[in-house]
Amino acid sequence: MDNLGNAANSPISMELSQLNERIRHESAFVDILTNEMKKVIVGQEYMIERLLLGLLSNGHILLEGVPGLAKTLAINTLAQAVQADFSRIQFTPDLLPADLIGTLIYNQAENRFTVKKGPVFANFILADEINRAPGKVQSALLEAMQERQITIGDSTFKLEEPFLVLATQNPLEQEGTYPLPEAQLDRFMLKVIISYPTYENEQLIMRMNVQQKFQKVQPVLQTDSLLRARKVVSEVYMDEKIERYILDIVFASRNPENYKLKDLQPLISYGGSPRASINLALASKAYAFIKRRGFVIPEDVRAICYDVLRHRIGITYEAEAENITSEDIIKQILDAVEVP
């Protein structure tokens, strides 16, 4: 990035200056939206920021944490703050694919089948406790999450933009959970791990719930403003050095021996897919946008790397036996790959 500012009056420098100004103007809603969510969500700034990243980069988000950490409440609050259609689906072991996408119903009066659309036809889908439903239900979401369309019988329906799946899941160690298929996991841009609130924040949460003093969330963002902001995010400048940095990180997860990480080879069953590279680039641009910058720096990539990659790197039984997680592997990769 250091060659960007060498010539203050160079075309790139002038373009970046204009882009920075435009981003400052277009990103004004970020603080407003964040403050609106903070009316209800105490603490959890990390989770709120990640939800905004998904919103800006058109990426689905998976929130994982034990019950009671406001995962569902956060997604509900975000949907209220954005003027958009919202649908909540409670995933259970007896759920069927037709319960999500809809089905064909025979109309006796007209002597033909008609399409009854399911709850997935909305802008925001809250897939609550997504890993409590079996694999056949997960597969019903694959087309919607990737192609942004639904096929029912012979008919295919395009889903309206924005379309985001915001899912919550309990840790796999909990009773009655199913591991999500790799194809499903890979369609989530970010997997965000939610931790317990701090002592002071939990005191505020307890006080709010005991006194039943909850502020009402107001809609502060319209969908057309969001779609316009996404176009600006896509224009955030990414130098070729940053592109190579992203590719090096992803390729190191596939072929660690090429990056002097031979010790990782027996610990990784599979590395990041091309979606990992794409989503790392998109999320880095959105992170730069939130930070009011018109260009991506290596710190942006590192800041969101764990969320993009933790569910895309498979670990072997050997790694599990040694209590090594995908996050440990990501840390070693970030330490080994040269920063531009």
For the stretch 43-61, pLDDT in tens is 888 888 999 999 999 999 9
pLDDT for position 141: 87
For residue range 261-275, list pLDDT tens digits in order. Answer: 999 999 999 999 999
Does 163 or 212 have the greater pLDDT score?
163
Give the three-class secondary structure for 235: coil
Mean pLDDT calculated for residue range 6-29: 71
pLDDT for position 11: 56
Q: What tokens does 152 get?
A: 């029912």
Please report, for the chain, the start and end positions of each structural domain, with discontinuous segments joined by +.
Answer: 41-219
Q: What is d(CA 253, CA 272) in angstroms, rounded to the nearest whole number? A: 6
Res 215 pLDDT > 90: no
For residue range 280-333, list pLDDT tens digits in order. Answer: 999 999 999 999 888 999 999 999 999 999 999 998 999 989 999 999 999 999
- Closest C-alpha among 280, 335, 274 to residue 303: 280
Ramachandran angles phi, psi of 181, nearest 5°: -60, 150
CA dihedral 305, 311, 316, 320 (to 10 degrees): 90
Give pTM, 2 decimals. 0.86
91-98: Cβ within 8 A, 24+ apart: 91/127, 91/128, 91/129, 91/130, 91/131, 91/132, 91/133, 91/137, 92/132, 92/133, 93/132, 93/133, 93/134, 93/176, 95/133, 95/137, 96/136, 96/137, 97/136, 97/137, 97/139, 97/140
Select 41-219's CATH number: 3.30.300.30, 3.90.1580.10, 3.30.2320.30, 3.40.50.300: 3.40.50.300
pLDDT for position 7: 44
pLDDT for position 60: 93
- Closest C-alpha among 228, 270, 278 to residue 253: 270
Res 171 pLDDT > 80: no
Res 4 pLDDT > 60: no
pLDDT for position 1: 47
For residue range 227-248, list pLDDT tens digits in order. Answer: 888 998 998 999 999 999 999 9
pLDDT for position 246: 96
Mean of the per-residue pLDDT values of the chain: 86
Distance of CA 232 to the CA centre of its chain: 19
Q: What percent of the chain has pLDDT over 90?
A: 32
The angle that helices 28-38 and 45-57 make with each other, rounded to 10 degrees, is 140
